[in-house]
Amino acid sequence: MADQTFRLPDLGEGLTEAQLVAWRVEEGGRVDVNTPLCEVETAKAVVVIPSPWAGTIHKLHARPGASVAVGEPLVTITAAEATQAEATPGTLVGYGPGAPESGIRRKARTAPAVTESSGDVRAAPFVRQLAKDMGVDLTQLTGSGPGGRITRADVEAAAASPAAASSLAAASSPTTAAPSTDGERRISVVGIRKAIARQMVRSVSTIPQFTEFAVFDATNLMAAREEGKASGRSMTPLPYFIAAVVKAVRAYPLMNSSWDESRDEIIVKQPVNVGIAVNTSQGLLVPVLRGADQLELTAIAEKSAKLIEGARAGTLLPGEMSGGTITVTNVGASGPVETGTPIINPPECCVVAFGAIKPRPMVVQGQVVARSGAWISISVDHRIVDGALATEFLTALVSELESISA
């Protein structure tokens, strides 16, 4: 018998750390090969890590809520000599080259989420951790998510109530303390929210970006949608937006590129992998529609709808939220937002934002008439693209949208 220390493996997609959400084992307990050890939340997913060896848990090296870097000790297992020889150092069972996709999953499916108090609740692990940090009892909440799932917003709303504030203050001190009167509360920034913050700082601090705006006439797009509804093929405007972006990128491939900072080179990407910005209870996620340039409109609609649904339900794999070459965000989908200044998703060159489609005055054949229209804004990496090329791309995009036919 000998002690073997299992270190947090490289979970892929360039991730360097993860937050330990929960242990599924305890010190002194027995495990077999592939027994689930713990759940960790990366910047993109919740991952269940299995044991590479059979043996006895000697030591757990991290506590729930802590960040663990790749390569740092995770757990020490007292394993038999024969078992050690069977394990491959550095390779996690179910991960790595040739590993089945089922090795990484967005959420644990073996048991319902349970709070440290009593009662079963429907909540993702990171929501349970957030509730614990904020002193919120999940069993007292009614979830607003799909199927009654408790979301981040539910927890934050509960924490903002006077009762929750008092509970949080009491939990943070071993003695009775007066509730804070300054109205402040602190929210732990971990996992996906932390990754979003880092990505946005990287974007605005390393990419010299500029934004251009245009308005397009959506009359043909809306007519195509109505004809599709009549034939039983209902679509949102998003698939039309994506298809138009793909066609414009074909004419201006430099928009589908990235800047290699280590070599000062521009890398023009061949496939058009469209990232779709999705607002979820966890924050902004960007699932990627791979090979969008090879898909027909119907396939774009079907695949993008599944990606959006998966992002909101928390069931996407990490690989489904990486590898984008250009991003699309529909800022008008949640309300009457005209436009905005989108921030580039590094290392991409361009992000395209679409505002709300609504009636607006337009000049048609010298007459001012009410037509359906919307704003488009693009933010571009100025190291790669100059203003003239960005204008040509935006003009081509407007032309593609206005020439849509049913």
pLDDT digits (tens, 9 = 90+) for 204-243: 999 999 999 999 999 999 999 999 888 888 899 999 999 9
User: What's the length of the chain?
Assistant: 406
The CB density around residue 42, as the number of other CB atoms within 10 Å, is: 21
The pLDDT of residue 388: 97
- For residues 353 and 341, give the distance between their C-alpha atoms in angstroms, rounded to a whole number: 8
The pLDDT of residue 162: 47
The pLDDT of residue 117: 35
Catalytic residue, from 200, 382, 391, 398: name it: 382
Question: Which residue ranges form the domains of the chain, and what is each CATH number?
Answer: 2-103 (2.40.50.100), 125-177+184-188 (4.10.320), 192-402 (3.30.559.10)
Residue 219 CA neighbour count, 13 Å, CB half: 8
pTM to 2 decimal places: 0.63
Backbone phi and psi for residue 360, each to the nearest 5 degrees, phi listed first? -150, 155
The pLDDT of residue 287: 94
Q: Which residues of the chain have pLDDT under 70?
A: 1, 12-15, 43-45, 80-121, 124-126, 129, 133, 144-149, 152-153, 156, 160-181, 188, 190-192, 406
- For residues 231 and 397, give the distance between their C-alpha atoms in angstroms, rounded to a whole number: 27
Is 68 within 8 Å of 8 (Cβ atoms)? Answer: yes
Is 351 within 8 Å of 324 (Cβ atoms)? Answer: no
State yes or no: cis peptide before 146, omega within 30 of 0. no
pLDDT digits (tens, 9 = 90+) for 84-138: 444 444 444 444 433 333 333 333 333 333 333 334 567 765 677 677 767 788 8
- For residues 355 and 259, give the distance between their C-alpha atoms in angstroms, rounded to a whole number: 28
The pLDDT of residue 292: 97
**382 an active-site residue?**
yes
- For residues 193 and 187, give the distance between their C-alpha atoms in angstroms, rounded to a whole number: 11
End-to-end Cα spacing for the chain: 70
The pLDDT of residue 260: 92
Taking alpha carbons only, the member of 260, 234, 262 closest to residue 384 is 260
